[in-house]
Structure formats: C-alpha cells, structure tokens
Structure 1
Amino acid sequence: MSATGYRPDIDCLRGFAVISVIAFHYDISPFRSGYVGVDIFFVISGFLITRIIHAEVQTGTFSFAAFYRRRARRILPAALAMLCVTLLAASVILLPGDAVSVAQQALAVLVFCSNVLLWSQQGYFDAAAITKPLLHTWSLGVEEQYYLLFPMLALAAFALRRPLMLASFAGLCATSFLLCVIQTRLQPAAAFFLLPARVWELALGALLAMEAPPAPHSEWLRITVAALGWIALGAAVNLFSPHTPYPGTAALLPCLGAAAVIWANPSPSKAVLTAVKPMIAVGLWSYSLYLWHWPVVSLATAVWGPPSSIQHKLALLGACTAMALTSFYLIEQPARQAQSPVTVRALVASASVVLLASLAIIGLAGFPARFSPQERTLAEFISYDHQSAYESGTCFLDPGQTFEALQPSCLAKGPRPRILVWGDSHAAHLIPGLKRALPQASLLRASLAQCVPHAEAGQSAACADFNRRLPLLVRELTPDIVVLSGNWTRTAMTPAAQASLLATIKAITDNGSKVVVVGPSPQFDRPLPHLLIAAKRFGVSTDGHMLDGLGEVDGFMRVLLKDSARTDYVSLLALLCPAGDCVLQTSDGAPLAWDGGHLTAQGSELAGPRIVAASPALAAAASAPQLTANSAN
C-alpha cells in the first residue's frame, strides 16, 4: 500500500472532472458528454476513502467517529450553505410548485437520499432537469450512502487474507457492473441515480487503493499508462450523445481512463507541475464549483431562459466561480482545518435552518401570495394533468406499453368520415382540437410516446412494432384520412428518415386513404408558463425563445411532401407562429403549451380548427355529410 501523501495528479483529475461537468451543463464546447465527470469523481472517491481507511487500520488508528467527523467537515458546511442560499433564491424567484419541489429536494439532501427522490421523480413528462436547482445533489447522495456503508464492509474485508480481500472487492465491482449494464437497459433511471449500479465505479477506485494491480515500476510505463488514461478521458467527454445508454458499458471509458491515471502515478517534473498548476487549483476548488454551478444556471434559466450566447454563458460561469471561491475560502477550507471551530452543534444548527426553511416553504405551498392571480393561474399549468386530454394509457400509450394496450374504443369504426390520428405525444396533443373541429367525424386514435409515425433509427422495440402494425391497422379500418404527427426534428431530414416517411405515406395512400402530415409544433426553451410568468414578473421578452431548427425542419418537410399524391402538409408553425410571432396564450388566458411544447387542451382547441382549414382533405371532411356506420362499411 502506497503512502497517503498528496497526489497532484488526482487534483488534476478533479479539475478535469468538474470542468467537464460545468462545460456540459453550460453547453460550452467541446464537452458534449461532460456528464462523465461524475463517474471520474466516483473512482477518485473510492480510491481515496479506501486508501485512508486501510492506512489507519494498519496503524491501529481507525475510528468510525473520526472518519464520519472528517467526512462531515469535508462535505456538510459548504453543502448546507448552498442549500440555504438556494432555498432563499427559490422562494423569491421560482413558482410556488417549483419552490416546494426544491424544498423537498433539500430535505432529501439532509437525509442523504436526494438521489432516491430524484430517481422517483423520473418520467416521460417529468419536469426538465434545468428546472430543478438541486438536481446535481444526486451524486452527493450516492457518495454519502457509500460513506455510510463502506467503512463497515471495508473493515470486514481487511480482516481477510489478501487474496480473499482482493477477491471480495473484485466480486463487488463485477456484480455491481453487471447490475449496471442490465439496469441501464431495463431501468435506466435506477442505473443512473441509485447506488447499487454505481458501486462498481467506487469499488474500482478501492481496488487501485489496495494495489490489486501492482504499481508499475518503470517511469516510462507510468507515463505511457497515464497518457493513455488522459486520452481515454478526452474521448469520453466528447464521444457520447444524449441517446447513448448511460451509465452501462459506456461508463467504462471514463472510469478506466481515471483508473489508469491514478494507477500510473507518474513523477511529474517541475515544468509539468507548473504547467498544470491552474488545473490543480481548479481541482482544489472542485467541490465548491460542483455545488454552486447547477443552482446558478438553473435559477438564472428560471428568469432569462437557457443561456444562448457566449456572453451569457461567460456571465454565468463568472457568477458560478465567484460563488464557489467565496464558499471555498470562507466556508469549505476553514471547516476542514484541524483548528476550525466547526462543531457538531454548528452543523446541527445549520441543518436546522435548512430543515425549518424547507418545512416552511412546503407548509405554506411555496408562498403563492408573491404572485398575482393571473400569474397563479398560469402557474397551475406547470402541474397540468394532460392524461385525460391526451387519453394516456388507452389511446396514447406510455413508453413501456405495447400495441396491444390500445383500447378498442380508440379504434372503433364509426360513421364516415373516418379519420385516424397516428404518431407520438405530438399527435396525442392534437386530439382535443381535432375533436372540436371535426364533431361529425369518427376520430380514431393510435399514438405511442417517443415514437414518430414511421421507422427511424434508434427506436425502441415497442415503437418499431407499433409502426409495423399501424399500416395493417389502416388496411383493416379503411380510414378516409390518416393524420401523421410527431416530434419532428432534424433527424427527419436524414435520407433514411425521408425514405421511411415516404414509404409510410405510400402504404397508406395505396390503401385508398388520404394523408395529412402535421409539421413541427412550436417548442420553447423552457415551459411556456414559466416564460409567460417571467415576462410579467421580470420584464423578460417572450421573443427568441423558440427552439432553433424547427423552421428548417418545417421547410424541409413542406418541400419533401409537396409532390406526394393524396397528401396534405400542414405547417403548424405557420398557423401558430406567423412571421415568427407565436400565439402564446388562448383567448381565455391559458398558455398554448403546458411544458416546452405539448399543447394544453385550450391550445389544442385553438390549433384544431386552423389545421382543418389548412388541409383540403380535412376541410372537405368537415363539410361532408355524415354517413352511418353501416353505409360507411
């Protein structure tokens, strides 16, 4: 076992990890998968904690009380300060429901289970990550749970002979990794947030601390291994996309890269140490930087929206750095000193402030009196119940459901004109409006979340099966019109997607049905009720908040389908955002959408008649005399 002396390379790793995470969250190139920085932190923690415990056990100085006291002084003072400031800011800036959510997350942090709470809140329509200022505390929950459990397991392992001890650590690592791979496929949220699927990353560091692979003896080998480790880390922060299943096997790259750097432990020259001094400094500040970076960008987004320009990103980075350095020099560093006056009473008092503030926010429902009646009405749409309007679970299926879950009532043949709506949630949100605009039509509904209405790369097995069976359903139901609607993105512009969409349309029209393709819905960089309230409270402009690329996709699809036989293309952007000026509220004051892009029932009823009027096929159906079911067949 190596000595527990200072390792500048580990601070370099910490600096790299926190820079990666911050750059990813602040959308600063080139760290497009910078979230892997958290995995690097886990490997480092596993290494350092195991090394410390083993060294103290060998010298007979290990004490549970001393271990937990050091961990508390290391973690809690700065974390409690961040919680206090975040709760205060949330109670001033955020909507009542969001403020209550922050308070609940703060309580979870106090009992070391914020990762469990955040895991339980995951879902298809869950609030966007950026609206949760304490989302980043999930990783603290994982580490804190590890700190609580690992010392007892480590002491039991250290009592074994070395081969059995190493085998126990290796077995723990392998078992957790296998669980991680399986859960990433079957329960991705659990794999990401919960300790069991993350233990292997910590155990990997523990194996390094126990010198399971003997330390390399030659300096050239150390340098080579360290260089390969840094290359792996550089690849890891750029290689993965939002669609990469994670952690799973993908997490091997950053974890093994970090492990290689730690294992190599080269002896750096003075020139190298001087060159990496800035990175070492960032590593020393990494905990405070990590604590403050996410609340800063989350709360700023609640007011101004996601940072879009380099000036905005640099301003947020400056604010984050200022808060972190203040926290580091005034709270974190003094608390870690042996002579620090930080005591159990001081920590309990600080935690009590967080506890009482959180309970007050929850008990008083987020202080709704801060808002005007109109703002409170808009805020209610944040927790909008879309399930009834979208017919969730029956005609609009959740990601875990399959074609068989479609209820017969959704596909019942009624009088003509008979219209089938096929797509994903962006088809389901049209139903209230189409029902109102086509009262005499039989409106059939078949939609599946996260499943555009044609074959596309990366679709789930349930989606692929759904899209294979819908053309057969069209043949069986013989609808007069099939409405195709989906969350169209730039993916629709790829040659494969073009061919797939055109083939789907041809299969429908060959059956004798007409097709109406409804283009992209207006989508915004944050939930529309948030934007409307920020405009009223803080004077934020509502212009410039529509997502980039929608107009390009809309124009592309219009050109692609203009010569398709028996097919109408309806530009929802042209109907709802003429000249780029979007209709944001209906005549009764309801927001057009309840999140970033899914229509409210009122928004759908605004859009429905416009869609019908813009499609010759639907307009003809709206004015056609209704036929009985018998004569229609």
Structure 2
Amino acid sequence: MHSSTTYSLSHPKYRADIDGLRAIAVLSVVVFHAAPNWMQGGFIGVDIFFVISGFLISTIIFNSLKAQSFSLLEFYARRVKRIFPALFIVLAACYAVGWYVLFADEFAHLGMHTSAGAFFVSNLALWSETGPLDKPASAKPLFHLWSLGIEEQFYIVWPALLVLAWKGRYNLLTLTLVFATASLAWNLQASVKQPATTFFSPQTRFWELLCGGLLAWASLHQHPAVAGLQSKLDRGIHRTLYRSEPMGDGLALANALALVGAALLAFGFLKIEPALGYPGKWAIVPVLGAVLIISAGPQAWFNRVVLSNRWAVWFGLISFPLYLWHSPLLSYAHIMEGGNPRADIRLGAVALSIVLAWLTYRLVERRVRFAKHRLVVPVLCALMGAIGALGWYTSSQNGFAFRLNSKVDLALLSQTIEPSNTRLSDGSCEKFLDFSIGPGAVCLANTSAPEVLFVGDSHAMSLNSAAVLGKVSIQSMLIGNHGCPPLMNHSVMDGKVNKGCNALPEEALKVLARFPTIQTVVLESRGPMYFSGSGYGIEGPNNYSIFALDGSAATQAQMFQQGYSQFVKALLLRQKKVVFVIGSPELGEEPRGCIVTRPVSLLNKTLSSCSQDKSKVDERQAVYRNLVENIQADNPGLQVYDPIDLFCDDAQCYGLRNGKLLYWDDDHISTWASELVLNDMRKQKLLP
C-alpha cells in the first residue's frame, strides 16, 4: 500500500435510486411508529437500511483495497463526520427535553440510554433490559438507536477483518459468504427460542449487511458465466413479454428484478408483523427485496421513475436525521400524554421531525461532513464522549430527583417505584433452600421451612410481595413464570414462541415432594389475559394463546379450565390445601397519573380519579369467574378466595385508597394491596 499521506478512499458512483430506496426505508419506519395499524410491517425499513449500508460500505472497501488506497483511519474519520453531528444534536436535545419532562426514574433510564447511544451499544443495553419488567419501546425515546449500534459494530469489525484478509491474500468473497451464512444460520436457529437475542444481537443481524457486501462484490467482479446467464434471462423475459426482438441492453431483466424486489417489500410492509418471531426467516423478505432493487441498477423502470423522482431523493438525503428525530418526538408525545397520543399530535410530531431533519441536514450534516479542518474529528469525538459521560452520570445519580422538588410530591411519587425483588428471583431460594429452577422462572423464599407455596404468573408474584418483603409473617415460597398460568398438560404461545408454561406445575409438584413443610398451595394468574386475546384499559390485543400438549382441540377458555383443573386435582391428591385466588381487578391505567401530574404535558392534564365502574370489571371477569366455578365443581376440595371487596364497592373499583396506591402499574397490585389481601386471607383461615 502507499504511504498514509496518499490514502484516498474510493467511492461508488452516486445513484439517486439508492437515495429513493432510503426514503422508502425511513418513511416505512416513521409510519410504523406513528400509526402501526396503517403499516404493520413498516419496521422492516431498518433491514433495508442494513442492506444499503452493507452495499455502499463494502463497495468502498473492496474498491479501495484493490486500488491499494484503503486506510482504516480515514475510513473511521469519514464515519465520524457522517454520523456524529446529527446524533450528538439529537442526544443533546433528548436530554434537554427529558430534564423538564421526565420523572427521576425515567430520566435515569434516559441517561443510561444516552450513554449507550453515544458509545454505540444501544442494542446491547436494550438486550440486557429485555424481560418481564421491561418498559415498552414507546416509553424509551432512544430505543431506535439499537439499529445504529449494530451498524457501527459492523463498521468496526468488518473493515478491519477485510484488511487482515487482504493482507493475508485470502479470498474476500469466500470470507463474506462464510460470515453471512454463519450469521443467517444463527438468526434462524435463535429466532424461536431467543427472540430478544435474535433481534438485538449483532451476530444475528450482520448477515443483512453482508448481503449488501455480497452484492457489492458481485457488482465489482462479474464472472463471465454470470454475465452469460443474465443475458439469457434478459432475452427470455423480453421474448415472454414482447413480440419484438430483444435489445440486448439488459433492461428486461433489470425491470423484472426491481419489480419483484418492490413486490417483496410491499408484501413485507403489509403482512409481516413482530408476532411472527422477527427477524428469523421473515427478515429474508426485505433483505432479498432490497438486494434485487439495488442489483437492478439505476436504469430499471422502478428505480428510474419511482425511486429517482425528486421527492424520493429528497427524503433519502434527509433519511438519517429523520430516522434520528422521529422516534424521540413520538416517544415524548406518548410519555407526556400517558398513552398513545391523538392522531393530530402524532402527525405534528412527524411533521416536526421532517423539518428538524431537513435543518440538521442542511445546516449541520453537509457542512461538517465535507469540512477539511483537522480538528473536526477530534472535536466530534470529544462532544460524543461528553454527552455519553453526562448520560452515565445522570444514571448514576438516579435521574437528579431535585429537578422536580417544586413540581411533584416526591413522597407520593415514591409509591410508584416497585421493589426489584418481588417479581424477579433474588437468590433467596438458593440461600434458604439450596434450590433453583430453570432459566426464565422466578423463585422467591423467606424461610428455610416454607409453609405456603405460591404458584402462578407475575400476578402471583405481586400477591406474594408483602410476604417476601416481610410485611406479612407468612413462611412462604414462590415459583412462577411471567406470562405463565399454572396449566397442567398445557402451555402458552406468545406469538410464535412457546413459553413452556407446562413446566411450572411440574416444578411445583417436585417442590412439594422436596419440602414436606408446605401444606398450602396458593394459585393465581391474570386469568382473562390468556383466553380473551386482549389486555385491559390502556392495553391492546395480546399474542397469547393456550394449546394442549397432546394436540387436542378446544376453545381457549376450555383449555384454561382444563389445565387449571388437572393441576388442582394433582395437588389435592397430594393432600394439600389448595386456594385459588380470583385475580384482583385490573386497573387499566397508569397509576402514576392518579397521584401526580407530569411536570410538562402537551394537553392540560388533571389527576385521574383512579376508579372505574364496577360493571366494567364484572364484564371483564364474567367468563373467568364462570371458569373458576367450573374448576371448583371439578375439584370439590378446592377453596376459592375473592378479593373483590377490598378493591370495589357496589358501584366503583379503586386504584387509590387512603392516599395509597393499590397498584404498581395498570394491572399488578402494590405491596400495600398485597398486605391487605394476605391479611384478609389469614382472617378467613385460608393461610396459616
């Protein structure tokens, strides 16, 4: 290679149609975030971005290596000038808005994500958060930076690997094929059992960028046999469609490739949904679609007329800042409105993101990207490091609660902070009982000689919370799994993922055999959630479905009853006292809105009454209560406890009583409510 002073990276010829493809990618993501019902598969725009990035970056690297003009330092300097300016502005703006809008725990969380975004590990940070207590993406203004993290990790690894391979005189095509195949295989294997890993992990996403790399190699090194095949296909397509003789210009094949690619993207936008277990095999659809469109070339009709029109190119040019701006604006609107904001607010957020993207592109991106001053890159790196450090410090200081002293009653607000050791394993079972259960399950104990075993989903964990925290003196143990009612010989699917809920009753029976001190078993789960297909209040439809392990057919409600009844029967045969707790009413709203108003909101907000008509609760629980009666009829020894009178009077059900919250969130009861329920059960002689 030449001396470092002569390095000059090769750049591919500008293609307006690729900017148009960027426009399709970014606008699909924006529509998905603003109105997912309009385009349920709009999130696949990120996969299109991955292919484009892989194609352009690999083209630069392959060309530069061949010309002996590639410099890693120059490559990374260009990446800094391309990405850091817009990203720094968005991170700083999000932090500034969060200072005034967010409560302390939310601001601490934003700080952590700001740091992760600045150091390009957002995907890893979000990956570590996935779990039953994770907040929804709409409550995370910087959630979208996961994709930027994957791209930057690719930019760090791939160029360095190609340089080493080039110096070792290895075949770069073989290298690309091997890594792309391994990454795709990993994605396909992990998508069913480890959906979060597949979504956020760079190893399971790199194949998408490497497909762009393979296309780059193919476009630079066309084999004569491939050229001959393309010529035959082009003539065959032309003769199929037209009476005239083929022109031999390749346009028939190019048009076919572009239209098939466009059809694949259209299918993906309309039919692919997260519940299918994305990325997995479904990610092949947008990746293949993008590859076909790019490979068709700028002369294909779709690329020339649709993708290269001036509006598509304009949106393509501002696609990066538009991607950065739109998600925080929509997320802050969601946070300030306490739920999905009105359509006009979401439309306003999208319009503002387009304006900010254009200003960022014109006033910042273009000027910095082509600036020649030698201090530009060091200054940008220093600024990014500073915002990352500020985010980390904000997180370490728990979100600077002093910001809210004059606006929010912090004592009331503290009621909404749930102890972390009530719905996650805390090591107590290992400490007291030398016992642990499988991954994903929760095990909690407050004694080495438990008398009561709680079994169920996260609602059973909330019911047990006062006992595990020592606020009610019950010698207890809990085994549970989030999203798993204890259904014997049945399990639950969450979309395409089998949650393996049948293991929960099986483990419970093993526990009873191991700990004879347990004489009472308490069962609870969020009943209607599993067989109704819907959440409650602020929640929408869910992806839960029950199925029988033996493949027998029945309605969802019938399988709920059968699974519970079989488990109760097994417990009674072991001479245990079995108590079925009818789930407490779901609140259906965010309880924080019952005690404090957000420091800043878009519309005038007042405190919620934190109550609902009892008739709504009765309607929600009607089928569920009927199923419980049937379960008890099947098992006459079963005792049923109904906590409804602690939460409701004849007309209303409440989430706030005597200035105290009965709920942590829209459906899980608080520790104080757990005290009320457990003490009432003791009064009724249902607990020791």
TM range, smaller chain = 0.7 to 0.9
Number of positions where the alignment pairs a residue of Structure 1 with one of Structure 2:
607
Name the structure 2 match of 1:377: 411
Contact 2:457 2:524 in 1 (8 A): no
Find the partner of 1:496 among 551, 555, 577.
Answer: 555
Name the structure 2 match of 1:280: 313
Find the partner of 1:237 among 269, 273, 289.
Answer: 269
Kindly state the Cα deviation for residue 141 of structure 1 after the two structures are TM-superposed. Answer: 1.8
Separation in structure 2 between the aligned mates of residue 573 and residue 12 of structure 1, nearest angstrom: 58
| 2:337 maps to amino acid | W
Contact 2:322 2:353 in 1 (8 A): yes
Residues 124-523 of structure 1 correspond to what in structure 2 (within 5 A)? 124-158=132-166, 164-185=171-192, 187-211=194-218, 214=226, 216-217=230-231, 218=234, 219-265=251-297, 267-269=299-301, 272-273=305-306, 277-337=310-370, 343-344=376-377, 346-348=379-381, 350-351=383-384, 354-355=387-388, 357-358=390-391, 361-362=394-395, 365-372=398-405, 375-380=409-414, 384-388=418-422, 400-401=439-440, 412=450, 414=451, 421-432=454-465, 445-454=478-487, 455-458=490-493, 460=498, 462-467=500-505, 483-486=523-526, 488-489=528-529, 491-492=531-532, 496-507=555-566, 511=572, 516=580, 518-519=582-583, 521-522=585-586
- What CA deviation, in whole Å up to 9, does each residue of 1:442-484 have, x standing for no partner? 8774422221232344264642222456589899999788533
More displaced 10-residue stretch of structure 1: 72-81 or 302-311: 302-311
Percent identity over paired residues: 26
- CA RMSD, aligned part only? 4.4
3-state secondary structure, aligned to 1:144: helix
Instruction: Name stretches of at least 5 consecutive residues in structure 1 with no aligned partner.
Output: 613-617, 627-633
> Per the alignment, do residues 393 and 449 of structure 1 end up closer, same or farther by CA in structure 2, a change over 3 Å counting?
farther
Contact 2:180 2:210 in 1 (8 A): yes
Kindly state the Cα deviation for residue 340 of structure 1 after the two structures are TM-superposed. Answer: 9.0
Counterpart check, 1:603 vs 2:665: no
> Per the alignment, do residues 222 and 382 of structure 1 end up closer, same or farther by CA in structure 2, a change over 3 Å counting?
farther
Find the partner of 2:86 among 71, 78, 99.
Answer: 78
> Per the alignment, do residues 597 and 277 of structure 1 end up closer, same or farther by CA in structure 2, a change over 3 Å counting?
farther
> Per the alignment, do residues 364 and 484 of structure 1 end up closer, same or farther by CA in structure 2, a change over 3 Å counting?
closer
Contact 1:51 1:206 in 2 (8 A): yes
Contact 2:179 2:207 in 1 (8 A): yes
Contact 1:410 1:445 in 2 (8 A): no
Counterpart check, 1:45 vs 2:53: yes
Name the structure 2 match of 1:534: 597
Separation in structure 1 between the aligned mates of residue 617 and residue 671 of structure 2, nearest angstrom: 22
Kindly state the Cα deviation for residue 169 of structure 1 after the two structures are TM-superposed. Answer: 0.8
Contact 2:81 2:377 in 1 (8 A): no
Separation in structure 2 between the aligned mates of residue 440 and residue 33 of structure 1, nearest angstrom: 51
Contact 2:56 2:216 in 1 (8 A): yes
Compute the TM-score of the two structures, normalised by the length of structure 2. 0.75
Separation in structure 2 between the aligned mates of residue 68 and residue 341 of structure 1, nearest angstrom: 14
- What CA deviation, in whole Å up to 9, does each residue of 1:494-548 have, x standing for no partner? 753212122134436655877645246525565x43774435765534559999x
| 1:583 maps to amino acid | Y
Separation in structure 2 between the aligned mates of residue 540 and residue 318 of structure 1, nearest angstrom: 24
Contact 1:456 1:496 in 2 (8 A): no
| 1:522 maps to amino acid | E
| 1:52 maps to amino acid | I
Kindly state the Cα deviation for residue 77 of structure 1 after the two structures are TM-superposed. Answer: 0.7
Contact 1:474 1:508 in 2 (8 A): no
Separation in structure 1 between the aligned mates of residue 375 and residue 86 of structure 2, nearest angstrom: 12
Separation in structure 2 between the aligned mates of residue 22 and residue 399 of structure 1, nearest angstrom: 39
Kindly state the Cα deviation for residue 46 of structure 1 after the two structures are TM-superposed. Answer: 0.5
More displaced 10-residue stretch of structure 1: 441-450 or 16-25: 441-450
**More helix, by proportion:** 1
Kindly state the Cα deviation for residue 394 of structure 1 after the two structures are TM-superposed. Answer: 6.1
Find the partner of 1:100 among 89, 108, 111.
Answer: 108
- What CA deviation, in whole Å up to 9, does each residue of 1:395-451 have, x standing for no partner? 898872569x68796995x5xxxx764320111111246999x98998774422221
Separation in structure 1 between the aligned mates of residue 263 and residue 676 of structure 2, nearest angstrom: 54
> Per the alignment, do residues 228 and 531 of structure 1 end up closer, same or farther by CA in structure 2, a change over 3 Å counting?
farther
Contact 2:116 2:125 in 1 (8 A): yes
Instruction: Name stretches of at least 5 consecutive residues in structure 2 with no aligned partner.
Output: 1-9, 235-250, 430-434, 534-544, 546-553
| 1:167 maps to amino acid | T
Separation in structure 1 between the aligned mates of residue 596 and residue 438 of structure 2, nearest angstrom: 31
Name the structure 2 match of 1:631: none
